[in-house]
Structure 1
Amino acid sequence: MRAPSLSPLLVFAVVVALLAGLPVASVGLNLFVGGTSDTWSHLAQTVLGDYIANSLWLCLGVGSGVAVVGVGVAWLTAMHDFPGRRFFEWALVLPLAVPAYVMAYVYTDFLQFVGPVQTALREWFGWQYGDYWFPDIRTLPGAMLMFVCVLYPYVYLLARTAFLERASGMLEAARTLGLGPWRAFFSVSLPLARPAIVSGVALALMETLADYGTVAYFAVNTFTTGIYRAWFSLGDRIAAAQLAAMLLAFVLFLLMAERVSRGRARYHNTTGRNRPLAGAKLPGAWGWLATLACAVPLLLGFVLPAILLLKMALTEGDAQFGERFLLLSRNSFVLAGCTAAIGVLLALLLAYSARLSKTLFAQGLNRLVGLGYAVPGAVIAVGVLIPVTRVDNWLAAQWTVWFGYNPGLLLTGGIAALVYAYLVRFLAVALHTVEASLAKITPSMDDAARSLGLGQGATLRRVHAPILRGSLLTAGLLVFVDVMKELPATLVMRPFNFDTLATQAYTLASDERLAEASTAALAIVAVGLLPLIALSRQISKSRRA
């Protein structure tokens, strides 16, 4: 490997990678710092065991659930024909638009004692309080169900793609050997799709470990809730950082387990017959059972929550709807817009730097930047606040010396530190989108631009940027929606008296004002639908490609 040349773009990539890795390094270093021993002893003796046990149970329950649901509907829509299949191909991804904490608020209102379900049961059967048993949704199994309903599309998307791309030729060979549909599925299709399934499950589990709103509202103690309490309730940033380091270890363990689980197995396609099979038509009742199997997760994960949110927003809604709601929307859109614009620009420069450098070093820098997406928002928030607060205090002291007055906290007192945390968390989303599109542009276009006298900057501006316009817009939209939904980092790092739609929904729901929370929650879901509409259109075309 040749040594990388120190071009301005490569130096820029190094700086961005260091800034992206700073929060994780800050969290890791606090493992070796002696915090308040009383705080850590208190946590170890009271709730640390619950944090570990609940996190493990959540991973086990959610991982099993998303695997079963995601693989099941992926297999049905990819390899069979039944009533409504073309609709379900794209509609099954819609639950991704609903944050898990919004789902938790909706189902709590729907299933609580005074909710419509239990009220209808009491009216129909003449029951009174204590005459019947009804499951409590605000429990650990209830939290598992919420996560499964909104996160199964990760497995569905990856597994369905694997079935469509890998299964055709192999399944035809299996049929010639006398294997029936079920044996072919378990012996051929499922093993070939295993890497995609495991990757989808790993993504779902990382989202589960990163969640705060759902587990906090359901009173399920996990590492994320512990980080928030240690920082704000106990006032011990070292204890919060140490809990964040343990949560980070959980996430790294998941990533390593996903890699190790493959072992030395390889999953190459050795046939050129990759055309998707014509879907096997399911006759009669089997076809309607397949329709029902696809309808249930869509109904529970999107249709019912959307209808309930819309009903609550129209009938009751936020009592402060109006100027207050517009202010919350402005705050959310400013944060999301700034992060998306900066993220797309950084992603374009990083991807172009790796393209020009053509070295493993440049590619490794981009992979380091991309790791931020695997780190929970609460961990990044703690990792950002510790070093940025020190820089803030130093700047305030120097400003006082230079200009004779104290300006306050310049970084953490505004949205700058919060945008930084968002970039560390979501820059990978934009980077992967831009890299994938940039790789499709033939290098001969670069050579042609250079032969016409264009430098690197002019080539990027006049050749690549126009070609990548659609991908850049897609990348920006994805980052925008992710920031709109982000709750843990926003709760920890928001400036004083600065709320967003996500924090408003969480605050109202925490105060048991679920109907009022519906307005902000519905706005978040509506914004989340934008990229899914584009994604769904691509999914609906893939079957007919």
Structure 2
Amino acid sequence: MRRSPFALRSLALILLAGVLALPVLAVLASWLPWGQGDAQAGSILREMAATVLPGYVGTTLWLSVMVALGAALVGTAAAAAVTLFDFPGRRTFEWLLLLPLAMPAYVTAYAYTDFLQFSGPLQVGLRNMFGLEGRLLPEVRSLGGAVWVFIFSLYPYVYLLARTALGERAAQLMEAARLLGAPLPRRIRAVALPLARPAVAAGVALVLMETLADFGVASYFGIQTFTTGIYKAWLSMDNRLAAAQLATMLLLVVLALLHLEHRAQKRMRFAAGGVGRAGSSEAQPLVLRGGLRVAAWLVCGLPVLMGFVAPIAFMLRPLAADWSVLPWGRFVEWAWHSVRLGGITSALAVAVALTLAFAVRRRPDGVTRGVVQLASLGYAVPGAVIVVGLLLPVGWLQAAVPQWGIGALVTATAVGIVWAYLVRFCAVALQSVQSGYARIPASLDDSARMLGMGSLGLMARVHWPLLRRSTAAAALLVFVDVMKELPATMVLRPFNSDTLAVVAYQLARDERLGEAALPSLALVAVGLVPVILLSRTLRSRH
């Protein structure tokens, strides 16, 4: 009996969902008896609980709490300054505050270390100038240094969402409160902050997910977090089960944060939509003068200085001092490996996103929506968890059928690393393509069907011309994310295929920070492209 097209389509979508969800499923399956391969799960967990686990939990908790508070404070203050008040330079600060998004956190860590460490130019200059000896500044490679780096690298997530929420109706409601006699502090406390609270919560959840997923900063600063513990258990101790258990704990925390972020996003949309049309449409931001104007400049200028200007200046210093020490000869090779992997992954991710978005458009049933949700889950999963989730089933298959050579296929070629990239970044492409589909009227599909056009014709002749900009944006975002990805690339890259991110990390780890400046600045230059496009999009909405 022939299978119906609907059954074949559902089977293909389920297989696609299985490929994208395999890392998460494999990590969870490692707790099962058949997934463990032995009965040591309980003993390993007890041993970790008595030794390393308390340190991982405590360090990760303190890091998360301090980064969350700092990013919420910096991002909300900057968003309130540019939306509620008017001062010279406000329009410029609106897009300058987005620039740290182009800076990978590990690149910022390298820059600060090079400048502030004991042998760095600042401490050396201070010792020579004042005749001092010993360490003059706190150790930058510490938990406090990591908090500083994460706050000024990740606050734009809070700033962007809070700015959007406050920009909806905050000025009008603040004006209404002023007409009712409320002083400025009370207007901010009773009107602006409650309006921005859901957006701030969503932004903080994104900041925490990025912090928990980080490997570069934690490893370089020697901080014992869950992510570094996963790599240590797998690569140093050769204990796959311990790595899988740590990955499961981290995954559960990230999934909880993702749930909180979704709830906050829903509350944010409800708050924005529930404001109504009350208030004057002519309400303008409050003009600041004197000391308040200076305070606004500091609130907006300090994050840009600490998160972008200072790190860029620190990395440009070795380039200006001695160009001969820079690895110009191999830079092209590293850039080519990065561009090649980014191009392949972005093309495949866009193809998968178009397939899933078109399937939802044509038949939004439960199977299709479930596949889309699984594909969207990957972006929240840390790279360390994806690595463990891919290598676990590879190890099982290699042990079961060694003649297939599954291990060599995944770890010695580009297959494994592109697979990990797709799991991680398909959600980025899917979100962009779905936003493009949201702007295509359903009446066009009805008209095409009435004219007898099939699915392929509908996609090629109707949807594709209208989705070109969205797919180009999706490809660009995936490309940039792949260029900056570090943890999965370090483990899964083929031999002699170092990327810019991996080389920058290795050079910095070997204390060759001057040489690490070149690949680091290249990553920043690539990351600036989507930030500039985002800034232009936000400015066009005003």
What interval of TM-score do these two structures reach, taking the shorter chain for normalisation?
A: over 0.9
- Structure 1 residue 292: deviation in Å? 2.0
Does the CA-based 8 Å contact 1:93-1:536 persist in structure 2? Answer: yes
Does the CA-based 8 Å contact 1:139-1:218 persist in structure 2? Answer: yes
Tell me the residue number matched to 2:142. 139
Counterparts of 2:61 and 2:292, CA distance in 1: 37
- Structure 1 residue 50: deviation in Å? 0.9
What is the 5 A alignment of 1:382-397? 382-391=388-397, 397=403
Residue type of the alignment partner of 1:428: A
Tell me the residue number matched to 1:344. 350
- Structure 1 residue 411: deviation in Å? 2.6
Does the CA-based 8 Å contact 1:199-1:258 persist in structure 2? Answer: yes
With 100-109 and 31-40 compared, the bigger mean Cα shift is at: 31-40
Cα 1:365/1:179, change in 2 over 3 Å: farther
Does the CA-based 8 Å contact 1:381-1:489 persist in structure 2? Answer: yes
Partner SS state of residue 272, structure 1: coil
- Structure 1 residue 182: deviation in Å? 2.1
Does the CA-based 8 Å contact 2:102-2:531 persist in structure 1? Answer: yes
Matched, 1:181 2:176: no
With 13-22 and 264-273 compared, the bigger mean Cα shift is at: 264-273
Provide, for residues 163-209 of structure 1, a one-character-per-residue CA deviation record: whole Å limited to 9, x for no partner.
Answer: 01132443333233322222122212221222211111000100000
Cα 1:326/1:49, change in 2 over 3 Å: same
Residue type of the alignment partner of 2:56: Y
Tell me the residue number matched to 1:533. 532
Tell me the residue number matched to 1:447. 446
- Structure 1 residue 35: deviation in Å? 4.3
Matched, 1:59 2:64: yes
Pick aligned residue for 2:238 from 225, 232, 235? 235
Cα 1:541/1:449, change in 2 over 3 Å: same
Cα 1:408/1:536, change in 2 over 3 Å: closer
Partner SS state of residue 127, structure 1: coil
Does the CA-based 8 Å contact 1:78-1:164 persist in structure 2? Answer: yes
- Structure 1 residue 418: deviation in Å? 0.8
Count of paired positions: 531
Does the CA-based 8 Å contact 2:199-2:264 persist in structure 1? Answer: no
TM-score computed with the length of structure 1 as normaliser: 0.92
Matched, 1:83 2:85: no
- Structure 1 residue 41: deviation in Å? 5.4
Counterparts of 1:91 and 1:252, CA distance in 2: 32
With 151-160 and 81-90 compared, the bigger mean Cα shift is at: 81-90
Counterparts of 1:263 and 1:351, CA distance in 2: 22
Matched, 1:289 2:322: no
Does the CA-based 8 Å contact 1:10-1:357 persist in structure 2? Answer: no
Counterparts of 2:438 and 2:10, CA distance in 1: 18
With 309-318 and 522-531 compared, the bigger mean Cα shift is at: 309-318
Does the CA-based 8 Å contact 2:83-2:167 persist in structure 1? Answer: yes
What is the 5 A alignment of 1:396-415? 397-398=403-404, 409-415=408-414
Provide, for residues 274-320 of structure 1, a one-character-per-residue CA deviation record: whole Å limited to 9, x for no partner.
Answer: 85842211112321221122111001100111122122234346846
Tell me the residue number matched to 1:194. 197
- Structure 1 residue 7: deviation in Å? 6.1
Does the CA-based 8 Å contact 1:79-1:277 persist in structure 2? Answer: no
Counterparts of 1:408 and 1:19, CA distance in 2: 17
With 44-53 and 306-315 compared, the bigger mean Cα shift is at: 306-315
Counterparts of 2:435 and 2:463, CA distance in 1: 13
Does the CA-based 8 Å contact 2:411-2:492 persist in structure 1? Answer: yes
Counterparts of 2:283 and 2:486, CA distance in 1: 42
Partner SS state of residue 410, structure 1: helix
Residue type of the alignment partner of 2:484: K
Tell me the residue number matched to 1:102. 107
Does the CA-based 8 Å contact 2:398-2:406 persist in structure 1? Answer: no
Does the CA-based 8 Å contact 1:50-1:221 persist in structure 2? Answer: yes
Cα 1:318/1:64, change in 2 over 3 Å: farther
Tell me the residue number matched to 1:402. none
Tell me the residue number matched to 2:174. 171
Does the CA-based 8 Å contact 2:233-2:242 persist in structure 1? Answer: yes
Tell me the residue number matched to 2:522. 523
What is the 5 A alignment of 1:276-355? 277-316=283-322, 319=325, 321-355=327-361
Provide, for residues 430-450 of structure 1, a one-character-per-residue CA deviation record: whole Å limited to 9, x for no partner.
Answer: 111111110111011111222
Does the CA-based 8 Å contact 1:396-1:409 persist in structure 2? Answer: no
Does the CA-based 8 Å contact 2:27-2:248 persist in structure 1? Answer: yes
Tell me the residue number matched to 1:111. 116
Counterparts of 1:423 and 1:486, CA distance in 2: 12
Does the CA-based 8 Å contact 1:83-1:288 persist in structure 2? Answer: no
Tell me the residue number matched to 2:370. 364
Provide, for residues 140-174 of structure 1, a one-character-per-residue CA deviation record: whole Å limited to 9, x for no partner.
Answer: 11101100011000000000000011324433332
Identity %: 47
Counterparts of 2:40 and 2:96, CA distance in 1: 49
Residue type of the alignment partner of 2:503: Q
TM-score computed with the length of structure 2 as normaliser: 0.92
- Structure 1 residue 255: deviation in Å? 2.9
Does the CA-based 8 Å contact 1:313-1:522 persist in structure 2? Answer: no
Counterparts of 1:162 and 1:15, CA distance in 2: 39
Structure 2 spans left out of the alignment, 5+ residues: none
Cα 1:294/1:497, change in 2 over 3 Å: same
- Structure 1 residue 261: deviation in Å? 7.5
Residue type of the alignment partner of 1:410: L
Tell me the residue number matched to 2:483. 484
Does the CA-based 8 Å contact 2:500-2:520 persist in structure 1? Answer: yes
Does the CA-based 8 Å contact 1:318-1:516 persist in structure 2? Answer: no
What is the 5 A alignment of 1:503-522? 503-522=502-521
- Structure 1 residue 36: deviation in Å? 7.3
With 315-324 and 212-221 compared, the bigger mean Cα shift is at: 315-324
Does the CA-based 8 Å contact 1:336-1:481 persist in structure 2? Answer: yes
With 133-142 and 240-249 compared, the bigger mean Cα shift is at: 133-142
Cα 1:482/1:392, change in 2 over 3 Å: farther
- Structure 1 residue 42: deviation in Å? 5.0
Counterparts of 1:391 and 1:125, CA distance in 2: 64
With 231-240 and 256-265 compared, the bigger mean Cα shift is at: 256-265
- Structure 1 residue 483: deviation in Å? 0.8
Cα 1:155/1:17, change in 2 over 3 Å: same
Does the CA-based 8 Å contact 1:88-1:294 persist in structure 2? Answer: yes
Does the CA-based 8 Å contact 2:86-2:285 persist in structure 1? Answer: yes
Cα 1:508/1:42, change in 2 over 3 Å: farther
Tell me the residue number matched to 1:401. none
Partner SS state of residue 178, structure 1: coil
Tell me the residue number matched to 2:19. 19
Cα 1:178/1:8, change in 2 over 3 Å: farther
Cα 1:279/1:253, change in 2 over 3 Å: same
